[in-house]
Amino acid sequence: MESRTPYQPRIADAQLAERLAHAGAVVIRGAKWCGKTRTAEQVARSALYLQDPDERVSSLEMARTKPSLLLRGDQPRLIDEWQDAPQLWDAVRFSVDRAGGFGHYILTGSATPRRGQRPAHSGTGRFSFLTMRPMSLYESGESSGEVSLSALFSSPDDIEGIACGDVEDVALQVFRGGWPEAVARGEGADTTIPADYVAAVAEEDISEVDGVARSPADARLVMRAYARCSSTMAQSKAIRLSITQRKDPIAKSTFDSYVSALRRLYVFEDLEAWRPSLRDKVRISATPTRHFVDPSLAAAAMGATPGMLLRDVPTLGVLFESLVVRDLRVYASAMRAEVLHYHDVSGLEADAVVVAPDGGWGAIEVKLSPYAADEASRSLQRLARRVDRDSAGGPAFLAVITSGGYAYRRDDGVYVIPASCLAP
C-alpha cells in the first residue's frame, strides 16, 4: 500500500467516476508510486491488496483455487496489483457478466502480466481502462491553471497568465518529479524518491516483471543510456551502442529484453509519431521520441542534481521537454485526446501534437527559454502550411510552451504559454 499522506486530488478522479458509471470494471494502469491505489481508494468500498505481506500467500493460493472468494466485499471493490494473480481478471469478467450493471470493480496494476499468465479474455465491453501518470504541475499546485488545454481547441482570441516560477524551479521540478509522496513532502531537491525508484527497478522489478533474471548493473546502464536520449528520436541501435561502460557491447537481444521489461513496468513511455497527410511529398518519420514516464527518472538515471542541471542547460532543456510531455499527456487524457510528435525528413518538427477525439489537432513546440518563441512560432506555422487541410483540417491552435514569462497570444496567432500556467 502507498503511504498515508493526505490525499491530493487528481485529474483522474473525475475520469474514474465517469468510467465506473459506464463499465462493470475499471482498470487503472501506470507506473508504481504514481497514485493509482490512493485514487481508487477514494471511491472503493472494500479492497484486496495482493502485495500485503500478511495476506499475500493465502490470497495467491485462493486466486488459483477459488478466485471468486476474493471478489467478495462491498462494491466498488478494489483489487490492487491484480497482475500478481492474473486469474482474477477472468473471475472479475465472469462476475460482471452475471451481475450486469456498472461500477463493480477497480483493478490497479503497475506491470503487465507475464507471458503465459495473461487472461484468457480481453474484457472488451466489460472493462474500461484508465492510464495514470505521476502528478502534473497543475495537480502538484505548481501551475496556476490559467490556460486550459481543452479551451485552446476553441482558439480563444486572447489568453493571459504569469509563470509560477523560474528556471531554478524547473530544475527542482524535473529532479523531484511528480511522485505524490515527493510532492507531499515538499522537500524539493532533498527528496530521494526518484533515485530510490531507479534502484528498485534495477535491483528487483526488472527481474520480477516476467521472471527473467537480469543484471542490476546492466539495467542501470540501459536506463542511463535511454535517459541521455530523452526527447530525441534516437534509434534503438544507437542507444544500445552508446553503452560503453561494459567490457563487451550489450547484445541486441539482451538490450531489447531490458527495454521491453522497462516498458511493461511503465518506466519508459515513448511518444509515438503523428502521420497526417501532407501537401508536399515529404516523408514523415515513424520513429518515436524517447521519454521516461517522468523526467525525474531520467535525471536520477544520469545521476543529475538540480545544480548540475542548471549548469548543463541543454540537458535541462530536454528534460523540461519530457516534463511538458508528461503534463500534456495528463491534461489530454481528461478530454480523451492523444499526444504524439511530428518530424519529417526536411527537419520540420513539433515536439508534441495533441489530437482530439474528433480529429482536431494542435501543434506544440517546447522551449526552455521564452526568448526562443519567435523561431518556434515560425516553425509551427510552416508545419501548419504543410499539413493537407482537406484531410486533417487546419490546426485548432499552435503554441510554444516555455519555462517562464507570460501567457499571451502573439500577433501571428501562436500562443506562448509557460508550463506553470497550463491546466486540463
Cα 360 to Cα 89: distance, rounded to the nearest angstrom: 35
- Model pLDDT, residue 280: 82
Mean pLDDT to the nearest integer, 347-369:
97
Q: How confident is the model at residue 124 (pLDDT cuts 50, 70, 90)?
A: low
- Model pLDDT, residue 172: 95
Cα 292 to Cα 262: distance, rounded to the nearest angstrom: 10
β-strands 338-343, 77-80: how paired? Answer: unpaired
Beta strands in 114-191 (DSSP E): 127-131, 147-148, 161-162
Q: Name every residue whose Cβ is closer than 8 Å to that of residue 367 and which is 6 or more positions away in sequence.
A: 317, 373, 376, 400, 401, 402, 403
The answer, yes or no, to whether residue 305 has pLDDT greater than 80, is yes
Cβ atoms of 234 and 290 within 8 Å: the answer is: yes
pLDDT digits (tens, 9 = 90+) for 71-91: 999 999 999 999 999 999 999
Q: How confident is the model at residue 1 (pLDDT cuts 50, 70, 90)?
A: very low
Cα 36 to Cα 107: distance, rounded to the nearest angstrom: 10
pLDDT digits (tens, 9 = 90+) for 5-61: 889 999 999 999 999 999 999 999 999 999 999 999 999 999 999 998 999 999 999
Cα 184 to Cα 173: distance, rounded to the nearest angstrom: 13
Q: What is the secondary structure of 209-248 as a DSSP string? A: TTS----HHHHHHHHHHHHHTTTS---HHHHHHT--SSSS
Q: Determine how many CB atoms are found less than 10 A away from the CB of residue 335.
A: 14
- Model pLDDT, residue 13: 98
pLDDT digits (tens, 9 = 90+) for 219-249: 999 999 999 999 999 999 999 999 988 878 8
Cα 420 to Cα 293: distance, rounded to the nearest angstrom: 19
Percentage above 70 pLDDT, the chain: 95
Give the cell for residue 70: 476474493
Cα 401 to Cα 398: distance, rounded to the nearest angstrom: 10
Cα 32 to Cα 3: distance, rounded to the nearest angstrom: 12
Mean pLDDT to the nearest integer, 149-168:
95
Q: Determine how many CB atoms are found less than 10 A away from the CB of residue 341.
A: 24
Cα 177 to Cα 175: distance, rounded to the nearest angstrom: 6
Percentage above 90 pLDDT, the chain: 87
β-strands 77-80, 406-409: how paired? Answer: unpaired
- Model pLDDT, residue 281: 84
The answer, yes or no, to whether residue 120 has pLDDT greater than 70, is no
Query: At residue 271, what are phi and psi to the nearest 5 degrees?
Result: -100, 115
Amino acid in position 370? P
Mean pLDDT to the nearest integer, 354-377:
97
The answer, yes or no, to whether residue 118 has pLDDT greater than 70, is no
pLDDT digits (tens, 9 = 90+) for 203-226: 999 999 988 999 999 999 999 999
Residues of the chain with CATH 3.40.50: 12-131
Poorest-pLDDT segment among 69-78, 275-284, 400-409:
275-284
**Mean pLDDT of the residues in the chain:** 93
Cα 267 to Cα 291: distance, rounded to the nearest angstrom: 9
- Model pLDDT, residue 403: 97
Decide: helix, strand or coil at residue 34.
coil
Cα 295 to Cα 291: distance, rounded to the nearest angstrom: 8
Question: What CATH code would you report for 12-131?
Answer: 3.40.50
Q: Name every residue whose Cβ is closer than 8 Å to that of residue 267 and which is 6 or more positions away in sequence.
A: 31, 201, 223, 292, 293, 297
Cα 357 to Cα 52: distance, rounded to the nearest angstrom: 39
Cα 414 to Cα 346: distance, rounded to the nearest angstrom: 22
Cα 383 to Cα 418: distance, rounded to the nearest angstrom: 22
